[in-house]
Amino acid sequence: MAEHQTVITALSAVLPDLAPADITSKLEAPKDAKLGDVAFPTFTLAKVLKKAPQMIAAELVENIDQSAFEKVVATGPYINFFLDKKEVTAQTLKTVLAAGLDYGQNDDGKGANIALDMSSPNIAKPMSMGHLRSTVIGNALANLSAKNGYNPVKINHLGDWGTQFGKLIYAYKTWGSEEEVKADPIATLLKYYVEFHDKAKENPELDDEGRAWFKKLEDGDPEAHKLWAWFREESLKEFTEIYDRLGITFDSYNGEAFYNDKMDRVVKALEDKDLLEESQGAQIVDLSKVNENLTPAMIKRTDGATLYMTRDLAAAMYRKDEYNFAKSLYVVGGEQREHFQQLKAVLSLLDLPWADDVEHIPFGLITFNGKKMSTRKGDVVLLKDVLDDAHELALKQIEEKNPTLANKDQVAEEVGAGAVVFHDLMNDRTNNFDFKIEEVVRFEGDTGPYVQYTNARAQSILRKAGVEVDTSNISLDDAATWDTITTLNEFPKTVRRAFLNREPSIVAKFALHLARTFNKYYANSKILADDENKNGRLALVAAVSDTLSASLQILGVSAPKEM
Q: Determine, following the binding rule CB under 6 A, whether residue 162 of this chain makes contact with ligand ARG.
A: no
The gap between the terminal CA atoms of the chain, to the nearest Å, is 34
Closest CB to ligand ARG among residues 332, 557? 332
Compute the least distance from the CB of residue 330 to ligand ARG, in Å. Answer: 6
Closest CB to ligand ARG among residues 384, 534? 384
Residue 153 φ/ψ, nearest 5 degrees: -120, 110
Give CA–CA dist 9/405, Å, rounded.
50
Q: How many CB atoms lie within 10 A of CB 505?
A: 20
Q: Determine, following the binding rule CB under 6 A, whether residue 552 of this chain makes contact with ligand ARG.
A: no
Spell out the residues 6+ positions from residue 32 whose beta carbon is closer than 8 angstroms to its own: none
Give CA–CA dist 277/267, Å, rounded.
11
Q: How many CB atoms lie within 10 A of CB 438?
A: 8
Name which of residues 65 to 124 contact ligand ARG (CB under 6 A). Answer: 117, 120, 122
Compute the least distance from the CB of residue 332 to ligand ARG, in Å. Answer: 4
DSSP secondary-structure letter at 256? G
- Measured CA to CA in angstroms, residue 14 lies from 9, 45, 80, 510 at distances of 9, 13, 15, 35
Spell out the residues 6+ positions from residue 242 whose beta carbon is closer than 8 angstroms to its own: 127, 383, 384, 387
Q: Determine, following the binding rule CB under 6 A, whether residue 159 of this chain makes contact with ligand ARG.
A: yes
How would you label 334-346 residue by residue, b for 16+ Cβ within 10 Å and e otherwise? eebeebbbbbbbb
Give CA–CA dist 481/536, Å, rounded.
10
Binding mask 121-140 for ligand ARG (x = CB under 6 A): -x------------------
Give CA–CA dist 37/169, Å, rounded.
69
Closest CB to ligand ARG among residues 82, 253? 253
Compute the least distance from the CB of residue 371 to ligand ARG, in Å. Answer: 19
Residue 5 φ/ψ, nearest 5 degrees: -55, -40
Residue from 312, 357, 414, 546 touching ligand ARG (CB under 6 A): that is 312
The runs of H, that is alpha helices, within 247-285 are 264-272
**548 near 560, Cβ under 8 Å?**
no
Compute the least distance from the CB of residue 131 to ligand ARG, in Å. Answer: 6
Closest CB to ligand ARG among residues 317, 488? 317
Residue from 61, 190, 332, 425 touching ligand ARG (CB under 6 A): that is 332
Compute the least distance from the CB of residue 119 to ligand ARG, in Å. Answer: 9
Compute the least distance from the CB of residue 157 to ligand ARG, in Å. Answer: 4
Compute the least distance from the CB of residue 117 to ligand ARG, in Å. Answer: 5
What is the full DSSP assignment across 128-152? PHHHHHHHHHHHHHHHHHHHTT-EE
Give CA–CA dist 388/397, Å, rounded.
15
Compute the least distance from the CB of residue 130 to ligand ARG, in Å. Answer: 7
Compute the least distance from the CB of residue 312 to ligand ARG, in Å. Answer: 5
Compute the least distance from the CB of residue 171 to ligand ARG, in Å. Answer: 20
- The beta strand positions in 281-363, using DSSP E, are 282-285, 297-300, 327-331, 358-361
Give CA–CA dist 525/533, Å, rounded.
12
Closest CB to ligand ARG among residues 255, 560? 255
Residue 143 φ/ψ, nearest 5 degrees: -65, -40
Binding mask 212-231 for ligand ARG (x = CB under 6 A): --------------------
Q: How many CB atoms lie within 10 A of CB 456?
A: 21
Q: Determine, following the binding rule CB under 6 A, whether residue 157 of this chain makes contact with ligand ARG.
A: yes
Compute the least distance from the CB of residue 452 to ligand ARG, in Å. Answer: 31
Closest CB to ligand ARG among residues 82, 368? 368
Which of these, 221, 234, 127, 121, lies nearest to 166 by C-alpha position? 221
Name which of residues 394 to 433 contact ligand ARG (CB under 6 A). Answer: none
**130 near 173, Cβ under 8 Å?**
no
Compute the least distance from the CB of residue 70 to ligand ARG, in Å. Answer: 55
Give CA–CA dist 30/34, Å, rounded.
8
Compute the least distance from the CB of residue 150 to ligand ARG, in Å. Answer: 20
Closest CB to ligand ARG among residues 159, 556? 159
**197 near 204, Cβ under 8 Å?**
no
Compute the least distance from the CB of residue 499 to ligand ARG, in Å. Answer: 21
Give CA–CA dist 379/377, Å, rounded.
6
Closest CB to ligand ARG among residues 23, 343? 343
Closest CB to ligand ARG among residues 218, 312? 312
Closest CB to ligand ARG among residues 315, 506? 315
Give CA–CA dist 237/245, Å, rounded.
13
User: In a 3-state reduction of DSSP, which class is residue 214?
Assistant: helix
Closest CB to ligand ARG among residues 318, 433? 318
Closest CB to ligand ARG among residues 129, 415? 129
Name which of residues 186 to 205 contact ligand ARG (CB under 6 A). Answer: none
Instruction: Give the number of residues in contact with ligand ARG, rule: CB under 6 A.
Output: 9
Residue from 213, 330, 363, 499 touching ligand ARG (CB under 6 A): that is 330
Q: Determine, following the binding rule CB under 6 A, whether residue 361 of this chain makes contact with ligand ARG.
A: no
Closest CB to ligand ARG among residues 147, 157? 157
Closest CB to ligand ARG among residues 136, 332? 332
Q: Which residue is nearest to ligand ARG (CB)?
A: 159
Instruction: List residues binding ligand ARG (CB under 6 A).
Output: 117, 120, 122, 157, 159, 312, 315, 330, 332
